[in-house]
Amino acid sequence: MRNNVIMVVNPISGDVDKSELIEAALFFAEKENLNLVIYNTSGVNDVVNIKTLYKTYKPERIIVAGGDGTIKMVAEAMEKEDVILGILPAGSSNGLAVDLDLMLTLEENLKIAFLNDYIEIDVITINDKISLHLSDLGLNAELIKNYENATIRGKLGYALQAVNTLIDFEGPFTATITANNETINCVARMIVIANSKKYGTGVVINPHGVMNDGMFELVILKNLDLYVFGQIITGNMPIESNDVEIIATNQATIKTNFPVSFQMDGEYCGTETEFDVQILHKQMKVAIQ
């Protein structure tokens, strides 16, 4: 009997047609004598449908063709199951795939997703919602909100939006952070809650981030003027300066003095004043190179 593999495909992610990808995956599965069951997401009831498919087919692996949002949705559906995720990056944001060095050719990704060994990565929860790699409050979330509403797309649009956001931003907020049995107060422009090292753009924000060490980092950016901002986006994260403080922990609460914009893995999530951050150690098995 052939072993089953489920492939979850987000037909709209990254604005790309997936027919070539599906054809290549079917061909690969046939060659490996695997029965590939394809599920196209609809954006409605996907978690429930994937749970049902899992119970029916009991696969050892689930392949995900989509962006971070689709991976998170599958991770949520498979929270209680012992299954390996294989990633075929196909989103407009592929932060997790960038972090795991999976931005490769389709042939390479197919081989890794279907056959390679895996690592068990930690998953962060913020107010009970899953974050796979990087979430933040403050300036970058503000930037993402503005970018979602912007008319000029592409790199120039992003740069213009960044400058506008820096100029318009309400100013620093005060955060009360409790972690490692200590409470500190600080004034910040942005606080990153980081499981990993870099954003999907490749910008390194948390040089010591390791995805399976049972810890996450709070990267507190106290000052984010154009100079510091420039250093960060050019890959020279000023970790030794007074502008930056990094706290490594496995549990934290953050309270802010006014509602602050907040984004999780590239998706704008509104404003909040309280953030309860936990780590689920080695929660997810992901196939890697």
Q: Which residues bind ligand ATP (CB under 6 A)?
A: 10-14, 41-43, 66-70, 91-93
CA-to-CA dists, residue 214 to 22, 29, 116, 210, 274, angstroms: 35, 34, 23, 9, 22
| Minimum CB–partner distance for residue 99 and ligand ATP (Å) | 15
Distance, in Å, from the CA atom of 12 to the CA atom of 91, rounded to the nearest integer, reads 8
| Minimum CB–partner distance for residue 217 and ligand ATP (Å) | 23
Which candidate, 114, 109, 72, places its Cα nearest to that of 267?
A: 72
Which of residues 69 and 86 has its CB atom nearest to ligand ATP in the complex? 69
Which of residues 4 and 93 has its CB atom nearest to ligand ATP in the complex? 93
Which of residues 131 and 256 has its CB atom nearest to ligand ATP in the complex? 131
CA-to-CA dists, residue 4 to 36, 38, 89, 111, angstroms: 6, 11, 21, 16
Pairing of strands 267-287, 182-188: unpaired
Q: Render 207-262 in DSSP notation, one character per residue.
A: TT--TTSS-EEEEEES---HHHHHHHHTT---TTSTTEEEEEESEEEEEEEEEEEE
The answer to whether the beta carbons of residues 91 and 14 sit under 8 Å apart is yes
| Minimum CB–partner distance for residue 207 and ligand ATP (Å) | 25
| Minimum CB–partner distance for residue 155 and ligand ATP (Å) | 16
Which of residues 66 and 172 has its CB atom nearest to ligand ATP in the complex? 66
| Minimum CB–partner distance for residue 95 and ligand ATP (Å) | 9
Which of residues 109 and 256 has its CB atom nearest to ligand ATP in the complex? 109
Which of residues 11 and 238 has its CB atom nearest to ligand ATP in the complex? 11
Distance, in Å, from the CA atom of 160 to the CA atom of 254, rounded to the nearest integer, reads 30
3-state secondary structure of 286: strand
| Minimum CB–partner distance for residue 46 and ligand ATP (Å) | 7
Angle 19-31/106-115 helices, nearest 10 degrees?
50
| Minimum CB–partner distance for residue 235 and ligand ATP (Å) | 23
Which of residues 172 and 266 has its CB atom nearest to ligand ATP in the complex? 266
Q: Is 47 exposed, middle or buried (0-12, 13-18, 19+ CB in 10 A)?
A: middle
The answer to whether the beta carbons of residues 206 and 136 sit under 8 Å apart is no
